[in-house]
């Protein structure tokens, strides 16, 4: 509600899963990881594979799905926690589901645009 005008109708997604450190069955963030997230939040800008500013229309196109991987592609650096524990099959299934949602939203958008220009069967 109190966003500056230039940030209205925009959402900042930060994918910090690769920043989590896991040692002795505990997951935590070090100061440098926290600072990286804080920097991304304060600057409200795109950082490849880490943060992305998304217009609300894109989120609505994705059926208001706020699943971070729909908006930020991992750099493939490998996770220090979380993702490294996923089985390759589970990771592939999650990626397939997310790409299916994106495709479905894109197709719905295409059909809507075709209807608008009068291309109906």
Q: State pLDDT tens for residues 2-37.
A: 888 989 999 999 998 888 888 888 888 889 999 999
DSSP string, 72-94: --------SSGGGGS-HHHHHHH
3-state secondary structure of 120: coil
Say if CB 13 and CB 54 are below 8 A apart. Answer: yes
- Neighbouring C-beta atoms of residue 15, cutoff 10 Å: 19
Instruction: Provide the pLDDT confidence category of residue 42 given band limits of 50, 70 and 90.
Output: very high
Tracing tokens 């991987």 back to the chain, one arrives at 69
- How confident is the model over 53-111, as pLDDT tens digits? 999 999 998 889 898 888 988 765 544 444 444 456 766 777 787 778 888 888 888 88
Distance CA 72, CA 53 (A): 10
Q: pTM for this one?
A: 0.59
Distance CA 61, CA 103 (A): 10
What distances in angstroms separate CA 45 from CA 4, 25, 77, one per listed residue? 14, 33, 21
Distance CA 24, CA 19 (A): 16
3-state secondary structure of 38: helix
- How confident is the model over 25-34, as pLDDT tens digits? 888 888 999 9
Domain spans of the chain, in order of start? 5-116
What pLDDT does residue 121 have? 57
- In sequence order, the 6+-apart residues with CB closer than 8 A to the CB of 14 are 37, 40, 41, 50, 51, 68, 72
What pLDDT does residue 105 have? 83
């Amino acid at each position: 509600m109190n966003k500056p005008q230039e940030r209205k109708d925009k959402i900042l997604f930060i994918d910090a899963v690769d920043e989590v450190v896991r040692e002795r069955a505990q997951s935590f963030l070090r100061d440098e990881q926290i600072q990286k997230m804080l920097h991304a939040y304060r600057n409200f800008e795109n950082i490849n594979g880490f943060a992305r500013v998304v217009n609300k229309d894109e989120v609505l196109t994705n059926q208001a799905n706020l699943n971070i991987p729909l908006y930020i592609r991992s750099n493939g650096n490998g996770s220090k926690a979380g993702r490294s524990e996923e089985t390759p099959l589970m990771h592939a299934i999650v990626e397939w589901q997310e790409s299916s949602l994106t495709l479905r939203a894109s197709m719905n958008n295409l059909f809507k645009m075709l209807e608008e220009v009068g291309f109906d069967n």
